[in-house]
Structure 1
Amino acid sequence: MSSRREAILGALFQTLDNALDANVRRNEVLPEKVLAAGLVILRDGDPGEPDVTLNPRTEFYAHRVEIEVYVPRDPTGGGEAALDTLLGSIGAALRIDPSLGGLAENLTPSAPETGALAIEGAAPVLTARLVVTVEYLVSDPLSD
């Protein structure tokens, strides 16, 4: 049996993988090449310090999960529209079930930080990084 944290991260991964045409990976190193459909990497992120209530003991986490998005730069210098479309698809996927089947209280995505990345020996890629705050309750952070 997995912890609530792992169940949430697994459900978030499945949500993205099922909804996107891009390749979706978890905690992956950046490959040398990004396919035309794009690449999305889910990083487990930081659960932070919980708010704790007693009787019964409950910990409330606002876990900051990172999503990295990569699309190849168009040979003519474009690609921003493809990045924007992929970010829109991620937003739509997250809105389908913000409780991840009852595992979480809520999902709140941040606005993306965008940029460009030069990869040695490969075509440059456009990037975006966003943080999804996943709020959830547990009685034991290691097993619940």
Structure 2
Amino acid sequence: MPTPRETILAALHARLLALPATALRGEVLPERIPADGLLILRDGEPGEPEVTLSPLAYHFQHRAEIEAVVQGADRDAGFDALCASIGAAIAADRTLGGLCDWVEAEAPRPVDLPVEGAASLKAAVIPVVLHYSTADQLA
């Protein structure tokens, strides 16, 4: 049986799969960027939990990351639309079906990356904070 952390990350990835862009999890950046854009979910860091006793509970603010990448002549508009679609997908259910207490994405810091012999890339890492509690730090 998967841990709550894995269940939450899988639910977030499933949410990203519903978007028009290609969504991967933990993969390396492919050589070609799909026309609709590319999203790569990174598991990130669970951080140091706050602990409550009786009953014992660990409260995490897990920082996952979504790498968003677009390429092409209209990459600014494409990147904006891709980021907006991520925000809408998260806002549609900020608890991921009750798996989290709260999910919130932070603002991206986009960069333009030149590619030799091809159109430039526009990319950013979008931090996503997942608030959840578990009874065991390894669960």
Q: Is the 8 A contact 1:47 1:62 kept in 2?
A: yes
2:81 is equivalent to residue 85 of structure 1: yes
SS in 2 for 1:32: coil
Gaps of 5+ in 1: none
**Does structure 2 retain, via aligned residues, the 8 Å contact 1:33–1:123?**
no
> Match for residue 4 of structure 1?
4
Structure 2 partner of 1:57:
56
SS of equivalent residue, structure 1 residue 8 = helix
How many residues are matched? Answer: 139
Deviation at 1:120, TM superposition (A): 5.0
Q: Distance in 1 between matches of 2:59 and 2:115?
A: 40
Match in the other structure for 1:124: 120
Q: What is the CA-CA distance between 1:85 and the residue it aligns to?
A: 0.5
Q: Structure 1: which amino acid aligns with 2:114?
A: A
Q: Report the CA distance between 1:129 and its aligned residue.
A: 1.4
- Residue by residue over 1:94-130, the C-alpha shift from the partner in whole angstroms, topping out at 9 and shown as x without a partner, is 0111101111000111011100123456542110211
RMSD, aligned α-carbons: 1.2
How far apart in 2 are the matches of 1:60 and 1:114? Answer: 31
Distance 1:7 1:120 in 2: 39
Q: TM-score, normalised by structure 1?
A: 0.92
In the superposition, the TM-score normalised over structure 2's length comes to 0.95
- Paired letter, 1:21: P
Higher relative contact order (CA 8 A, sep 6+): 1
Kindly, what percent of the aligned residue pairs are identical? 45
**Mean Cα deviation higher: 6-15 or 65-74:** 65-74
Moved more, 112-121 or 58-67: 112-121
Aligned to 1:27: 26
